[in-house]
Structure 1
Amino acid sequence: MCGITGAAWTDPQLAVSADALRRMTDSISHRGPDDAGYYQRDFQSRSPYPPIPGVALGHRRLSIIDLAGGHQPLANEDETVWTVFNGEIYNFHALRSRLEGAGHTFRTHSDTETIVHLYEDEGPDCFRHFNGMFAIAIWDQRERRLVLGRDRLGQKPVYYYHHAGRIVFGSELKTLLALPDVPREVDPSAVDEYLTYQYVPHPNTILKGIKKLAPGELAVFSDAGLHVERYWKPDFAHEDKRPAHLQEAELRELFDDAVRLRLQADVPLGAFLSGGIDSSLVVSSMQKFSDRPVKTFSIGFPQKEYDETSFARQVATHLGTEHHEFQVTPSALEILPKLIWHYDEPMADSSAIPTWYVSQQTRAEVTVALSGDGGDELFAGYRRYRAVGLGAMIDRLGPLKRVLGAKVWQKLPSSGRQKSWLRQGRRFSEAISMSPQRRYLDWISIFNESRRGQLYSDEFVAQLGDNDPFDFLKAAWQRCGKRDAVTCASLADLVTYLPCDLNCKVDIASMAHALEVRQPFLDYRLVEYAAALPISRKYSRGRGKQILRKVFGDRLPKEIWNRPKMGFGVPLDYWFRHELKELLTDSLLSEKALSRGLFREETVRELLDEHMSNQFDHSARLWALLVLELWQREWIDA
């Protein structure tokens, strides 16, 4: 687990100097405190032969496997192929055996060396053979090209800026911004997307011209320009029709093997344990392969509705783990500046706060931790899928749909509580007349289309053009063909919400503390298997994860299977009325914020007034606005 950065150029006037490369690399030293490495080669003119582009590669290392021999950048035998790599290749032992059989010679025991040798044999097709989480840059001197690749589920990020005759890339946006000629112009369409989803969807970033590779994509830069393509194209329209007993046997084998592969490390290893089904199953499988108690970690909060430690403790006792429990009192005022700096782009998922704290506490004991991320998307675990299923049923009943979508329901009083039945019922009624995709976006949006219209100034609207944030979700939904609505929603979440929000949140929070987090549910074999399961195997009577209960029911206490699902959150609504009230008001209504011309002052004041008077819980919206304003002060105004 590391941080990578670098550049390649076909115009010698755009060369990246050694000092600039070090600045770029040093900006992500937190990702790899154990080592630093550099490779640089100047642009080479070879008339009458084609010139060889210049290249610069930088690496910060967090040592996990082959502590002595895993230094990067790393080359093949004749130093014509070089790589820098962030992540883990879990099947590297099998790949190494194959490559040695083909005549390749290895000098180290690291997974990194399999990359250069497999690239020698396969070229850019090498990414199809890796089972892992990765961001990889490969410099190929013979073919005069730089190749970038991102893992299938987007666990590791790759930012890049391609302009004229140069590409600059890095694990974090700040590596690119270390170069003074990389522009820092906010993209209005990205702001619109951010306020819809609480993140900026790939391939865009918050800054004009800077992109990020989508999950399962590779990019090739050469004197012919930049070419981006998708190397992983799972068929989400396919449904597995095999008998249930065959599906269940395959799930047991795939899941345990995914966990087993992720136990490879030459450093201390443990697991996040929330007491939910997904993290608990990961720990149960870890314990199965371990000859000693697994180290598990959970954090608790003073507010009971946000505290899951009693469930985690119950699972730890049941499985016999070495459990570490931390009680923390989050200080938003203290942590906010750290989050704004580390996340580079505005990201409004407030669960980044507890993720930050659990990563910080876990790193004090281990260097690698496994987590349960991905289980909800793969096995239809989110509560909102109940509404999706109900909406699909109503869609089939035309007259009932017209009654439930009638304006009279929208005149009912709305509760201020975020999760009240009255509020959820009203939102359901407001959206029921829409298409299933539009309806789902309306439900998951921080600011839905109507609220964004009320928020934006005329000046800002004029800058948006024809971009529609809905297109991102719609494209993901349509990949599922004619499958049922719950499957479409969950698999759309798998390729949108999971990489852009959850994986980004975990990557940044964990790497800020030099902690590697591995996610067994995101083994691509398990993902392809779960995506093809009929919805009846995953979801029934408003409850998801049915096949997990069937296959792994004996691994966890019955109370864990039946407990209500809790979010990994913090009391934003309370904070905004107390310790964050002054910061929130002073920031959003400041002359600096209002002068940006993005939002209507009267709408912002209305949101604040309704929240402070306890009329309505606008905490998620206010957090999104606060993060955006503080991000601009950190990265744009400075």
Structure 2
Amino acid sequence: MCGITGTAWTTREKNILPDVLKRMTNVLEHRGPDDTGGYHSDVSGKSFLFNDERAYANFNPTSDTGAALGHRRLSIIDLGTGHQPLSNEDGSVWIVFNGEIYNYLELRNELVQQGHQFQTETDTEVIVHLYEEQGITCVERLRGMFAFAIWDERRERLFLARDRIGQKPLFYREQVGSLSFASELKSLLQMPDAKRTVDPHAIDLFLAYQYVPHPWSILKGYQKLPPAHYAVYEQGKFTVERYWTPPYQNPESNPNYQFRTPQQWSEALRTTLTESVKIRMRSDVPLGAFLSGGIDSTIIAGLMQTMSDRPVHTFSIGFPVKQFDERHYAREAAELLGTEHHEYIVEPEALERLPLLAWHYDEPFADSSAIPTMYLSQVTRQEVTVALSGDGGDELFAGYDRYRAVALSQWFDRLPTILKKMMTASLWQKLPASVEQKSFRRRVKRFLAGLAVPPERRYLKWVGIFDTERRLEMYSPAFREQLETFDTDQFLLKAYQLCCDRDFVTRTTATDVLTYLPCDILTKVDIASMAHSLECRSPFLDHHVAELAAAMPLELKMQNGRGKKILTDTFSDLLPESIQTRKKMGFGVPLNEWFRHELKPLLFDVLLSQSAKDRQIFNPIQVEQLINEHLTLQWDHSARLWSLLVLEMWFQTFIDPVSIPDHFPETILA
């Protein structure tokens, strides 16, 4: 796992100096502490170390077209000879790569037979030679998680690509005469001409989804390459293309649809997921697994243990608040599987890391489970360098409780109009309910409130943090004007359109695979793990597993309102009975309690500070009302308050003026 950055230009004025490339690369040190290197087309056409003064002496910025590539390495495979940037035999094709290609040995054998000579044992070099053979279509042969940039000297082409599901990030900045890219936005902000103009549409999207979705960025002029896309910058022309779509549409045309009986589907799932785990255990460094005590992580840890001749290290996090603590389930799973288990407690003091979270995530990111994920990554890295996780199981196999609400709402849509009007009447919203957001009465009121809108928009109303009405109520008049007619729902609606011929629950799971999974779950895990130089691998996200799940009929995944039916049936030998039947908890954080006690001063000190008011984004009266309603037990606004808090902390970290946590060197400031 690594950090990559660089730029390509078609006009001499956009050529960057070596010290700029060095700064862009060093800001990614946490992603790759083991090695660093660069390539610049004006430095003798060779890769160089940033501490090699002779390389800089050869710098001669005379070419109108060229490229510069920077790399930070976390060594996982071929620890001795995997230095990047890396080239083909004659130095005409250069690459910087972040990720893992799990079928690299098979591809390598094929390429050797075709006459290619390898200088390393890395998966990175496989991509270079595969590109020589197949050009930009090489990405379709890769099985893994990746973001990479290839500079083709002969064609004067920069080729960028991102993996199918979106496990590895890639930002870019297009300007007249150049295209720059990086694993993290902060790297692009090291360029001398980097602007930091906040996009009001991105703020609106953030408050709707709790993340800034692709292709947007929080800053104008910067974008994210979407999952399953590649981009080409050649002769000043920039194009972006999709190369893969989860095959939910027309499942009959999917080769996996040959399985007709539940037993056949189960056998195919067992074989495919087992093989996915097996190839993710290829490593030259110690491996372990996250073990939450849920179905997905227990299956992954269990499959690992069946293929290991020694106890697998497993890791879990808990909270001192009982309803958020899953450690006893994780402990029970570890005992059944025979793993060497490690568990830790997250206290409210963990929120002292808030400035660190803001710095690492680059953009406002309001999934509060980033806190335990960051801490879990830190303690896991003390024992291993690679950890396998169960991410993706909920989206692929209908595991979230909200899918039950989606199924129930389909029954509502078939009711006569008069009954629909009765069920969606505003009267129900006035009835008293528990202050707890997840209480039964709160859930019923939320469910009924969503029934009044079309199914696709209804789903966002259920899963979003601030719905449209509440956001507009929160904004200042001046900020509302900047939004004009912008519709945040379009991001979700476009995803729904990619799967039109299946039942609505399946369409919703497909939409989550395209949106929530890469933008929230995988962003959270990538940033948290790489902040501590830990590589995280997710067997459920192998595209073979994803394609099998996409073709699978819903009745195999969900029965009697419970999801993941086929997972519990197929892997029952690895799952304690209590885990098979338990209610889903999720990786929640007790913000509700923390905000009313230990973190109460933080709300006033940050959200009602003068600097927050001076931004003129929100109406301070509305913000204060949210805080008071939460503190007086009228409503659980913890998720909304957390969103506002991380947004303000992001402003304080990146905008006014730029500041970074103490343990980062000052030299990385732009």
CA distance in 2, matches of 1:573, 1:549: 32
Structure 1 equivalent of residue 629 of structure 2: 610
1:621 correspondence with 2:640: yes
Alpha-carbon offset, residue 329 of structure 1: 2.1
Structure 1 equivalent of residue 499 of structure 2: 480
Q: Give runs of aligned pairs for residues 198-237 of structure 1, distance below 5 A.
A: 198-237=210-249
Structure 2 equivalent of residue 47 of structure 1: none
CA distance in 1, matches of 2:127, 2:570: 36
1:546 correspondence with 2:558: no
Structure 1 equivalent of residue 369 of structure 2: 351
Say if 1:193 and 1:72 are closer, same or farther in 2 by CA, change over 3 A.
Answer: same
In the alignment, which of 112, 117, 122 is matched to residue 124 of structure 2? 112
The secondary structure found in structure 2 opposite 1:462 is helix
Structure 2 equivalent of residue 37 of structure 1: 37
In the alignment, which of 307, 319, 330 is matched to residue 301 of structure 1? 319
Q: Give runs of aligned pairs for residues 355-434 of structure 1, distance below 5 A.
A: 355-399=373-417, 400-434=419-453
The secondary structure found in structure 2 opposite 1:128 is helix
Q: Is the 8 A contact 1:43 1:53 kept in 2?
A: no
Alpha-carbon offset, residue 217 of structure 1: 0.6
In the alignment, which of 248, 253, 261 is matched to residue 271 of structure 2? 253
CA distance in 2, matches of 1:625, 1:407: 28
Q: Is the 8 A contact 2:346 2:372 kept in 1?
A: no
CA distance in 1, matches of 2:513, 2:416: 30
Q: Is the 8 A contact 1:10 1:43 kept in 2?
A: no
The secondary structure found in structure 1 opposite 2:482 is coil
1:160 correspondence with 2:179: no
Q: Is the 8 A contact 1:332 1:580 kept in 2?
A: no
Q: Is the 8 A contact 2:9 2:64 kept in 1?
A: no
CA distance in 1, matches of 2:180, 2:40: 14
Structure 2 equivalent of residue 4 of structure 1: 4
RMSD of aligned C-alpha atoms?
1.4
1:444 correspondence with 2:463: yes
Q: Is the 8 A contact 1:255 1:526 kept in 2?
A: yes
Q: Give runs of aligned pairs for residues 83-162 of structure 1, distance below 5 A.
A: 83-162=95-174
CA distance in 2, matches of 1:52, 1:381: 53
1:26 correspondence with 2:34: no
CA distance in 2, matches of 1:557, 1:130: 35
CA distance in 1, matches of 2:466, 2:574: 41
Q: Is the 8 A contact 1:8 1:56 kept in 2?
A: yes
The secondary structure found in structure 1 opposite 2:179 is strand
Structure 2 equivalent of residue 323 of structure 1: 341
The secondary structure found in structure 1 opposite 2:586 is coil
CA distance in 1, matches of 2:583, 2:595: 27
Alpha-carbon offset, residue 52 of structure 1: 6.2
In the alignment, which of 189, 201, 218 is matched to residue 189 of structure 1? 201
CA distance in 1, matches of 2:433, 2:205: 26
CA distance in 2, matches of 1:43, 1:9: 15
Alpha-carbon offset, residue 397 of structure 1: 1.6
CA distance in 1, matches of 2:544, 2:152: 29
Structure 2 equivalent of residue 14 of structure 1: 14
Alpha-carbon offset, residue 330 of structure 1: 4.0
Structure 1 equivalent of residue 260 of structure 2: 243
Alpha-carbon offset, residue 328 of structure 1: 3.4
Alpha-carbon offset, residue 594 of structure 1: 1.0
Alpha-carbon offset, residue 284 of structure 1: 0.9
CA distance in 2, matches of 1:532, 1:186: 41
Structure 2 equivalent of residue 269 of structure 1: 287
CA distance in 1, matches of 2:450, 2:192: 46
Say if 1:255 and 1:440 are closer, same or farther in 2 by CA, change over 3 A.
Answer: same
Q: Is the 8 A contact 1:153 1:215 kept in 2?
A: yes
CA distance in 1, matches of 2:492, 2:601: 36
In the alignment, which of 586, 595, 609 is matched to residue 567 of structure 1? 586
Higher mean displacement: 567-576 or 59-68: 567-576
Alpha-carbon offset, residue 386 of structure 1: 1.0
The secondary structure found in structure 1 opposite 2:110 is helix
The secondary structure found in structure 2 opposite 1:120 is helix
Q: Is the 8 A contact 1:52 1:144 kept in 2?
A: no
Higher mean displacement: 451-460 or 395-404: 395-404
The secondary structure found in structure 1 opposite 2:273 is helix
Say if 1:446 and 1:290 are closer, same or farther in 2 by CA, change over 3 A.
Answer: same
CA distance in 2, matches of 1:67, 1:22: 23
In the alignment, which of 535, 540, 565 is matched to residue 516 of structure 1? 535
CA distance in 2, matches of 1:78, 1:140: 12
Alpha-carbon offset, residue 257 of structure 1: 0.6
Say if 1:615 and 1:363 are closer, same or farther in 2 by CA, change over 3 A.
Answer: same
Q: Is the 8 A contact 1:12 1:43 kept in 2?
A: no
Spell out, residue by residue over 1:306-358, the C-alpha distance to the aligned partner (whole angstroms, 9 max, x if none). Answer: 11111111111101111112233241441111101111100000000000111
The secondary structure found in structure 2 opposite 1:337 is helix
1:585 correspondence with 2:604: yes
Spell out, residue by residue over 1:87-138, the C-alpha distance to the aligned partner (whole angstroms, 9 max, x if none). Answer: 1000000100111111111111110110100000111111111000001000
Unpaired runs of 5+ residues, structure 1, are 45-50
- In the superposition, the TM-score normalised over structure 1's length comes to 0.97
AA matched with 1:426 = K
1:71 correspondence with 2:90: no
The secondary structure found in structure 2 opposite 1:450 is helix
CA distance in 2, matches of 1:234, 1:506: 21
How many positions carry a matched residue from both structures? 633
Q: Is the 8 A contact 1:66 1:109 kept in 2?
A: yes
Spell out, residue by residue over 1:208-243, the C-alpha distance to the aligned partner (whole angstroms, 9 max, x if none). Answer: 110010000111112232111111123322235541
Alpha-carbon offset, residue 43 of structure 1: 11
Q: Work out the percentage of aligned pairs sharing the same amino acid.
A: 56
CA distance in 1, matches of 2:574, 2:402: 27
Q: Is the 8 A contact 2:348 2:594 kept in 1?
A: no
Alpha-carbon offset, residue 411 of structure 1: 2.2
Higher mean displacement: 320-329 or 167-176: 320-329
Q: Is the 8 A contact 1:359 1:509 kept in 2?
A: yes
AA matched with 1:443 = W
- In the superposition, the TM-score normalised over structure 2's length comes to 0.93
The secondary structure found in structure 1 opposite 2:646 is helix
Unpaired runs of 5+ residues, structure 2, are 45-62, 658-670
Structure 1 equivalent of residue 356 of structure 2: 338
The secondary structure found in structure 1 opposite 2:571 is helix
CA distance in 1, matches of 2:247, 2:23: 42
AA matched with 1:126 = C
Structure 2 equivalent of residue 493 of structure 1: 512
The secondary structure found in structure 2 opposite 1:56 is strand
AA matched with 2:558 = Y
In the alignment, which of 599, 613, 629 is matched to residue 594 of structure 1? 613
AA matched with 1:141 = E
Higher mean displacement: 594-603 or 155-164: 594-603
Spell out, residue by residue over 1:361-416, the C-alpha distance to the aligned partner (whole angstroms, 9 max, x if none). Answer: 00000000000000000000001111111001111123432321122212212432
Structure 2 equivalent of residue 48 of structure 1: none
The secondary structure found in structure 2 opposite 1:323 is strand
The secondary structure found in structure 2 opposite 1:331 is helix
